[in-house]
Amino acid sequence: MTIIANRGTTAPTDTPHEIERYPLFDRMVHWGVALTFTYLLLSGMALAYPRLAWLQTWLGGGQTVRAAHPWVGVVFTVGVVLMIVQWARQMRFEPTDREWVHRMRAYTRTGHSGVDVGRYNAGQKGYFWFVVVFSLILFVTGIPLWYPWMLSSGWNQAARLIHHASYLAMLAGFIIHVYMSTVMLPGTMSAMTTGKVTRGWAAWHHPRWLREKEGAGE
């Protein structure tokens, strides 16, 4: 197992050279999922919490929100399925991921684990599968809420409870994801906006992935 020495607390920025991390289609899928989830997040709050019902005004009105929420949920789920098709193979866990988990405390402090990470680290892989699992749970439990006649009142209440708990879990994960992509790890957001990152960022966070791209002549 190769370990990369910790060179400080921030990613090196000594070279302006950029390399592609995400092609256009990957970014479109990512932002499609992000935007639909944001709508579902806000409309779900408006529907679930009376004190937040005022959000419905900003989302087109109460009737629009009730009609749009499940359909946007379908679009969101389609986006997640596309993410699975695009990235599932790259999100398989490997031996170095165990070492990354052991060093996660150092990573949260410095943004660098010291592990020879490939395209994705164990945290990114874990969040990917977290999103996949809970998105599918939200979709399945949302169907009887959309068509309450499908199940008995007891099962509908169970579906509502699971749906709400899954929503809260997704909200917590979303907040952490946004924080890490913007504040905690500078330079990460450009990967999903321009599709490119600096070579220094890649060498700091994903050194093995950088070597593989260089070896492929990219």
13, part of any domain = no
Q: What total number of domains does the chain contain? A: 1
For the ranges 4-8, 151-155, 169-173, the maximum mean pLDDT occurs at 169-173
Mean pLDDT of 142-160: 91
63, part of any domain = yes
141, part of any domain = yes
pLDDT at 151: 85
Whether the predicted pLDDT of 121 surpasses 50: yes
**Catalytically annotated residue among 17, 69, 163, 177:** 177
Model confidence at 207, in pLDDT bands (50, 70, 90)?
Answer: very high
pLDDT at 93: 94
How would you classify the pairing of strands 18-20 and 196-198? antiparallel
Whether the predicted pLDDT of 25 surpasses 50: yes
Cβ atoms of 114 and 205 within 8 Å: the answer is: no
101, part of any domain = no
- For residue 171, the domain's CATH number is 1.20.950.20
pLDDT at 42: 95
The DSSP string of 46-77 is HHH-GGGTTHHHHTT-HHHHHHHHHHHHHHHH
115, part of any domain = no
67, part of any domain = yes
Cβ atoms of 106 and 73 within 8 Å: the answer is: no
In angstroms, the CA 171 to CA 23 distance is 27
In angstroms, the CA 162 to CA 40 distance is 16
105, part of any domain = no
Model confidence at 97, in pLDDT bands (50, 70, 90)?
Answer: very high
CB-CB neighbours of 195 under 10 Å: 16
Whether the predicted pLDDT of 217 surpasses 60: no
37-66 pLDDT, tens digit per residue, is: 999 999 999 998 989 999 999 998 888 999
Whole-model pTM: value is 0.86
Contacts of 16 (CB under 8 A, 6+ apart): 198
Whether the predicted pLDDT of 7 surpasses 90: no
183, part of any domain = yes
Cβ atoms of 149 and 76 within 8 Å: the answer is: no
In the annotation, is 177 catalytic?
A: yes
Domain that holds residue 68: 19-92+120-215
Model confidence at 106, in pLDDT bands (50, 70, 90)?
Answer: confident
